[in-house]
Structure 1
């Protein structure tokens, strides 16, 4: 087991190969050097100088359109006789490249590596100069390289050219940030020296993710192209743009050198001569050039890996734990023995039934915090939805005064009645009870819909492995709920019919005729008092008007005096009219007697004799005329001011006699009283019926129904058929877990 720093980079390379071979992405955030630079910054030449071979595609526009993960692996040069036979020289045969997508194939000719990179780029990124996030993994084995892991990214561009996407700049920046934002990456920011450093796009991006410059290495290229008399010593010394890891100066091959195929070995020699002989750089030439950059990156990467290995191990442990939990949720194996199928189905049925009951009882572990559901929703339906609907019903809204008067007349037959017929009340109150039927049935439907919703949400992750079984469970429970809906609705309907069948006027809460009539009389007295006060108010207004008129017209004394006399006569007439207005119950046609006004009037309406009444209970003309006077005075008030409990004369009341008006008001109040009794009882009984016949019955029967319908050996194979996508997900999850275990084993070799 190697423990030296030189073994760290190969370990990371093994981890990288393992992760990309199985998972396809770097989920471990492995340490690597990410090369960033704008187009024409010399980024490609820097990488080729490090490798010492021409192998990267060149051209105009974006050439690098997929990330290239480049692993440099130092190997011993083999003896000449063991080199593979090829047209390449033995020196070339000692170096080769391998692509991760072409396992087992070695490329000894680096021009073939160049073509394969282009072909693989076209395969995923297409021909339109667009970019792809899927990386190309390339290993180069050579005795002339130091062990490094580099990531070459597309060059930064500003303006799309040709058939490039219009958002090419956004795509490129997003891809670069995805790589350099990883805290385990070392950023190699390449900038041309012949452009002002403050305009460097690579340094600008690096600062976004590494504001302190702790993991950024600056590379200055094209120093030989700077204007004569200028140099980059201030930048290289860190006085212009400070970086903890500093700047390194390079001189790449010129375009002419590339076109004439100048060997890289000669180019590196010319580079070193340039720094040794330059007046500004000769003192720091030992810290310039490609060889220094390569050694520096190797040392930085090894130290970085050493520092990050504990974090990598901790992340591996976390990923293994998460993946094990995910795999457990899929189920450990797809094979189930025949002897275990029945017990598995019973177990899943029990979990489904338990989940259904727990959702209703409010004991489920997966309680929603976004909306009411299950038992809480049912409670809301009973108390808020159903209760509000019942309370908003007006028991006499569809009964006009004309309807009530007609019912009273029809109930008396061919003769006049001595009192209000009870049959009229009975005939009118029964149809009003049916107003409770529609909201009651809607309450049943809402509870049924909520139970269906609970049924469809009872699936567990384990049950989702078997979609056919889950569908059958839902189907059986849905059928059970549909069966119970009919009897529940029928029972609620019968509750309404029961209350229509017998009108119990002896109910303790029923207001009764005497109390209702007293209320009617009190309301009438209140309205008459309001009318009297209104007349008095008008008289006071007239007096005030007269006083104002007298004060303003003192010059016409005789005329004013005549007007005053006229007004006095008017007031006398008004006082006379007011004195004729009955203020007590006698205004209803009842003559006050020794027994009291209230008793005599009630006796009249409910058939008891009263000696103070005229023959056959006919109201005297004088009483009737006084009543009409009251109606004329109070008509304007009655149109705008409702009486107590909302009762007042409507336009239908204008042609009613006092007796008819009082009779209709009496019937209306009796209907309201009895309707409220029935409404209160229905509001109490319907939820109880729904709970007993639908909710509780379903809870108690669900387990037995599932077993009776589905626990059949002939159905086992069909019910336990796994979802194909889930089986594929389980296989991928198991593969990830095995990958992380192998990665942990590799890391343990150096820790």
Structure 2
């Protein structure tokens, strides 16, 4: 395993590789610097670098994440002044095309040997270009920020990657994030606080990120926005380093010893106190080296901090960050290696779905076309037979759907047909009369049965044709779903395969429909009344006669019941009238009733009379439990209303009988003789019987015909048809034309795989 000093440069290489490929799938170890605006973040970074290179101003200055890679190089490193003539920036580039400085003017107009330069910066968005002037680095950061984030105060999540090479820096990788703000100022968006917080969380929420929480000493630590945000993602303080800035600006008599010792707010990685350069120091161009010396002197002379002065200051912070980052990288590299292996495996699988590298030669394209055609035909057949490996679990498809069409859709449609629904009694009567000619027949004419049953058999044609269409549609659906990821690589070939199979199915649709029509015509052509399952006419006639007699007897019972009810009602009404007009008549009526009762006691033994009376009541009052109550209510009405004209009531009762008889006559229209009624009923029953025989045969024959002429024929001939139509050398080049979008996706996948492999090699060199 390589030394710890090599770990940070290794991660920097990984970051460069990932950045060049535009990949952000690896959670690489990094130090993220967070803090409120004007908390001293920029001063810490500039002190770590030893140069003034960051934009300064009011409001939000850092509006894009700045990924800062510090690379320590030896003073005699070959990188120093490497290809200086070509990589040094021109005066026009440094000034942005503006006014030249005195140094630029002298450099442009005087020829002198360039001095040896040991410190420079490089941006990943400007590869190969070195910035030796750190003021120019500041201008490039401002320009690149405005290019992406705009010239207003908005922010962007796209980072700026800056590498700094110097013998005076320690190997570090830090991310400078926008300062936390609470209130929008000037042109800042209304939701600027939310935007900045979300951007910071994108970095600090990752488990491999070390959080550098910067808090000024002149602000109460409990109000530190950076520590609050760090606690949200690191509640136990295991990967947070606290940095207390502006230690020299604390009120007299106060100190931050409890904070720095971890008593007030414990963090596993501890707190470090620093003293920043003041604004006056920056304006007076006081050097960073001088500021570092003054910082060390401040802690060494301070009566409280001198006891911990060796653990304070920016120099100690740089060493601490370097050590923490190296240890963190050492602990996380095995996980990163495992993550890379997983990503490589997933990418290789994705690449396989695109058809590999897409190298097709003239020699292998014929075999490729044949292979794809065979796979297409095999998928078509397996979908019908139910042996496909990707059978849907959401809906019926393929052969299962065809079975459902035969047994459910087609079967139910046949069962729903009523063979005599459109045949009225007058239609049957007319057919019988037309079949006898000018004289009546002695027996029921068979010709009438033939004339009536043939149109009913024709009713079976429509559901049969619909069955053929549904199976055809399902086969077309199967055809369009026979594609595969490998075949999708060649859209023209896939379209041609579907076109050829669709044409085959259309060819078979015509003969199949013709045969189905022929089946119906066959059954209509010859009416086989000798079929063993056909209803025997004599048995049918005997049953009809029996039913006729029973119906006639029921009607006689009904008429008897009506007459009896009428007499009973008339007698009761007469009795009530006599009671009203004469008491003596009432007594006499009662005596008559007693005598009548005694006389009728003998008649009550007659079961027929009692049944007739009950039958009438049930018939007249609807055969339910409510109608007798209505009859009792009607009797009570007569008793309580002596003024009612009883003759009118009897007349109403007669009208009821007349209306019922008229209704029965209307229901039986047209008026038929008894013989005609028997003949019509016999014909109707024979039609139902024969139609059922034909329907059963059609339900069995149609699916067989469709399977033979359409489904099985297509299965057997599909492969030969594809080869005949498409296996031609003149078509190969056009058929194997790749889809451009898929080719681009495959190329991206290839580049991604190469990136992962390169990253894996980088890690492999140090593991």
Q: TM-score, normalised by structure 2?
A: 0.78
- Which residue number in structure 1 is paired with residue 337 of structure 2? 313
- Which secondary structure state, in structure 1, belongs to the residue aligned with residue 173 of structure 2? strand
Please state if 1:671 is matched with 2:687. yes
SS at structure 1 position matched to 2:269: coil
Q: CA deviation at 1:708?
A: 0.7
- SS of 2:155's partner is coil
Quick check: 1:210 aligned with 2:234? yes
Q: Which residue of structure 2 lines up, in the alignment, with residue 63 of structure 1? A: 61
Select which of 697, 700, 703 maps to 1:687.
703
Q: Measure how far apart 1:672 and its partner are.
A: 2.5
Corresponding residue of 2:752: 736
- Partner of residue 521 from structure 2, selected from 488, 497, 502: 497
Call closer, same or farther: CA 1:122–1:443 in 2, change over 3 Å: farther
Cα deviation for residue 455 of structure 1 reads 1.4
Cα distance, 1:167 vs. partner?
4.9
Q: 1:198-242 deviations in whole A, cap 9, x for unaligned? A: 554444443444333322223334455556655545544445544
- Please say if 1:3 is aligned against 2:2: yes
CA–CA distance in structure 2, aligned partners of residues 277 and 558 of structure 1? 144
Could you tell me how far 1:6 is from its partner in structure 2?
A: 0.8
Structure 1: where are the runs of 5+ without partners?
584-631, 640-648
Q: Bigger CA drift: 456-465 or 235-244?
A: 235-244
* 2:636 aligned residue: none
Matched positions, count: 687
For residue 485 of structure 2, give the secondary structure of its aligned residue in structure 1.
coil
CA distance in 2, matches of 1:187, 1:10: 20
In 2: Cα distance, 1:252 partner to 1:328 partner? 56
Deviation at 1:661, TM superposition (A): 4.7
What is the CA distance between 1:387 and its match in structure 2?
A: 2.2
Within the candidate set 482, 493, 498, 2:506 is matched to 482
In 1, the alpha carbon distance for the partners of 2:216 and 2:430 equals 104
- Per the alignment, residue 96 of structure 2 pairs with none
> Partner residue of 1:327?
351
Over the aligned positions, Cα root-mean-square deviation in angstroms equals 4.4
Q: Counterparts of 2:148 and 2:116 in 1: how far apart (Å)?
A: 30
Larger Rg: 2
Q: Could you tell me which of 48, 52, 55 is aligned with 1:54? A: 52
CA contact (8 A) 1:16 1:26 kept: no
Aligned match of 1:403 = 427
Matches within 5 A, 1:543-554: none
Match of 1:45 among 43, 46, 53: 43
Question: Which residue is equivalent to 2:410?
Answer: 386
Contact 1:401 1:653 in 2 (8 A): no
2:668 matched to 1:653?
Answer: yes
Task: Tell me the SS of whatever aligns to 2:211.
Answer: strand
Q: Does the CA contact (< 8 Å) of 2:561 and 2:613 recur in 1?
A: no
Matched-pair contact (CA < 8 Å) for 1:33–1:186 = yes
Equivalent residue for 1:28? Answer: 26
CA distance 1:114–1:380, shift in 2 (3 Å):
farther
Distance of aligned partners of 1:537 and 1:244 in 2 relative to their CA distance in 1, 3 Å threshold: farther
Correspondence 1:452-463 to 2 at 5 A: 452-463=476-487
Task: Check conservation: 1:653, 1:661, Cα contact below 8 A.
Answer: no
CA–CA distance in structure 2, aligned partners of residues 523 and 59 of structure 1: 110
Q: 1:580 to 1:483 in 2, by over 3 A?
A: same
Q: Which deviates the most, 324-333 or 29-38?
A: 324-333
User: Which range moves more in the overlay, 231-240 or 48-57?
Assistant: 231-240
Structure 1 residues 582 and 175 mapped into 2: Cα distance closer, same or farther (>3 Å)?
Answer: closer
Alignment partner of 1:93 is 2:117: yes
SS of the residue aligned with 2:63? coil
Superposed counterparts of 1:701-716, under 5 Å: 701-716=717-732
**Could you tell me which residue of structure 1 aligns to residue 643 of structure 2?**
none
Does 1:724 pair with 2:740?
A: yes
CA distance in 2, matches of 1:557, 1:57: 132
Q: Secondary structure at the match of 1:425?
A: helix
For residues 427 and 129 of structure 1, do their structure 2 counterparts lie closer, same or farther at Cα, with a shift above 3 Å needed?
farther
Q: Give the equivalent residue in structure 2 for 1:473.
A: 497
Structure 1 residue 112 and structure 2 residue 136: aligned? yes
CA change 1:49–1:498 in 2 (3 A) is: farther
In structure 2, the CA distance between the partners of 1:395 and 1:258, relative to structure 1 (3 Å rule), is farther
The answer on whether the counterparts of 1:505 and 1:512 sit within 8 Å (CA) in structure 2 is no
Aligned counterpart for 1:73 among listed residues 71, 74, 78: 71
Range with greater deviation from structure 2 (672-681 or 95-104) = 672-681
* Equivalent pair of 1:513/1:670 in contact (CA under 8 Å): yes
Moved more, 561-570 or 677-686: 561-570
Describe how 1:192-203 pairs up with structure 2 within 5 A.
192-195=216-219, 197-203=221-227
**Shift of residue 406, structure 1, vs aligned partner:** 3.6
Measure, in 1, the Cα distance between the counterparts of 2:302 and 2:721.
93
Give the deviation of 1:466 after TM superposition: 1.7
Give the alignment of 1:251-270 within 5 angstroms.
251-270=275-294
Q: TM-score normalized by structure 1?
A: 0.80
SS at match of 2:33: strand
With over 3 angstroms needed to count, the CA separation of the structure-2 counterparts of 1:12 and 1:705, relative to structure 1, is: same
Instruction: Answer whether contact 2:80 2:118 (CA < 8 A) is retained.
Output: no
* 8 Å contact from structure 1 (residues 402, 652) kept in 2: no
1:532-590 CA-to-partner distances (Å, cap 9, x unmatched) read 699979999999x99xx99xx99989659859959999999x9889879999xxxxxxx
Q: Does 1:358 align with 2:382?
A: yes
Per-residue CA distance 1:126-176 (angstroms, 9 max, x = gap): 345443333222111112221111122333445555555555444444433
Cα distance between partner residues in 2 of 1:329 and 1:122: 41
Could you tell which deviates more after superposition, 180-189 or 281-290?
281-290
CA gap of 1:195–1:712, structure 2 versus 1, over 3 A, is same
Corresponding position: 1:749 with 2:765: yes
2:159 pairs with 1:144: no
Q: Secondary structure at the match of 2:2?
A: coil
Q: Contact 1:35/1:152 (CA < 8 Å) preserved in 2?
A: yes
Residue 306 of structure 1 and its aligned partner are, at CA, apart by: 0.8
Q: 1:13 to 1:708 in 2, by over 3 A?
A: same
Spell out, residue by residue over 1:89-114, the C-alpha distance to the aligned partner (whole angstroms, 9 max, x if none): 99993211111121110011112112
Matches within 5 A, 1:391-540: 391-517=415-541, 520=544
SS of aligned partner of 1:462: helix
Contact 1:400 1:652 in 2 (8 A): no
